[in-house]
A and B are shown apart, each in its own frame.
Chain A
Amino acid sequence: MASTDAAPTPARARPLSPHLSVYRLTLTMVMSGLHRITGMALYASVLLLAWFLMAASMDATAFGVASGFLNSILGRLILFGFTWSLFHHMLGGIRHFIWDAGLGMDAPEREWLAWGTLIGGFVLAILVWAIGLAVYQGASVS
């Protein structure tokens, strides 16, 4: 565990770094925030995955409750959000690999990468659900 100091109490106010609100909002800033937000959303959604797996490991009744929720409209919406977050975060990670290689840091490239991540995340999520629903359409829930 990292050792952390308690926040010091200054005798007088220390100079602060510029707040977020000082800067003009740019796409790359929004993407940085979205990467973190989708990461946190994925953190929470592992609870759902654990519920689903544990229910499947128990019995048909427990599974029916979990599966029933996930296949409800609310459940489907949450799952779509989960898959979108997953793809968005994955593409964001690939963007970071490109930067780690020392590429794509100039203004036009990083704008393109940002748009590609943003649009790509939605395209992949919608594509996967379209394929999933088309292939497994009509499959009923127990």
Chain B
Amino acid sequence: MTEDPNTLRTPLGRVRYLGSARSGMREDWFMRLTSVALVPLTIAFVWLLLSLLAQDYRGVRAELGHPLPAIVVMLFVLVGIYHMQLGMRSVIADYIRGQAREWALMANLFFAAVLALACTYAVLRIGFV
């Protein structure tokens, strides 16, 4: 039997029908993938944030108008929001039961989607308008 290199599921786990049947490992894997990306992005973002906070309107517009800072902010926001939405998902799964869980999971995705779009749109608008 050939081993699927893209799965972390062990052959024994498959035989016993234990563990995730479908996409559970994928969620776990994306949490780690985004964590790795967020280490350098966080450092770069905090560095940028400190310089942005001290500046006035023109200064902030000028700085975020450059491609590199704009890309750093957008990457941090998009990867960060994907990561935090996964984190909130497991918090909801841990603490909320029944029908309320479905609503909470939906609200989590809506919140993440709106914020991701708002931040990206704002940075692009600074750059292009």
Contacts and interface: CB of A to CB of B under 8 A. Distances in A.
B53 A70 contact: yes
B84 A42 contact: yes
Interface in B23-37: 32, 35-36
B123 A53 contact: yes
Interface string A76-114: 000100010011001001101100100000000000000
A132 B52 CA distance: 10
Contact of B57 (A40, A63, A71): A63
B116 to A, nearest CB: 9
A46 B122 contact: no
Interface stretch (A1-9, A10-18, A19-27): A1-9
Contacts of B98: 4, 6-7
Contacts of B32: 97, 100
A64 to B, nearest CB: 7
B54 interface: yes
Interface string B33-77: 001101100100010011101111100110010000000010001
A56 B61 contact: yes
Interface string B92-113: 0100011101100110000000
Contact of B54 (A40, A49, A63, A139): A139
A43 B126 CA distance: 24
Given A53-B73, A142-B57, A136 B38 contact: no
Contacts of B73: 53
B79 to A, nearest CB: 12
Report, as a range, how many residues of chain B touch the other chain: 35 or more
B13 interface: no
A90 B102 CA distance: 29
Nearest to A92: B35
28 contacts: A1-B106, A6-B99, A7-B97, A43-B84, A43-B87, A43-B88, A46-B80, A49-B77, A50-B115, A50-B119, A53-B73, A53-B122, A56-B57, A57-B121, A57-B129, A63-B60, A70-B53, A86-B42, A86-B46, A90-B38, A97-B35, A97-B36, A100-B32, A129-B50, A135-B50, A135-B51, A136-B54, A139-B54
| Nearest 6 interchain pairs by C-beta | A136-B54, A142-B56, A132-B50, A139-B54, A53-B122, A57-B122
Interface of B: 32, 35-36, 38-39, 42, 46, 49-51, 53-57, 60-61, 64, 73, 77, 80-81, 84, 87-88, 91, 93, 97-99, 101-102, 105-106, 115, 118-119, 121-123, 125-126, 129
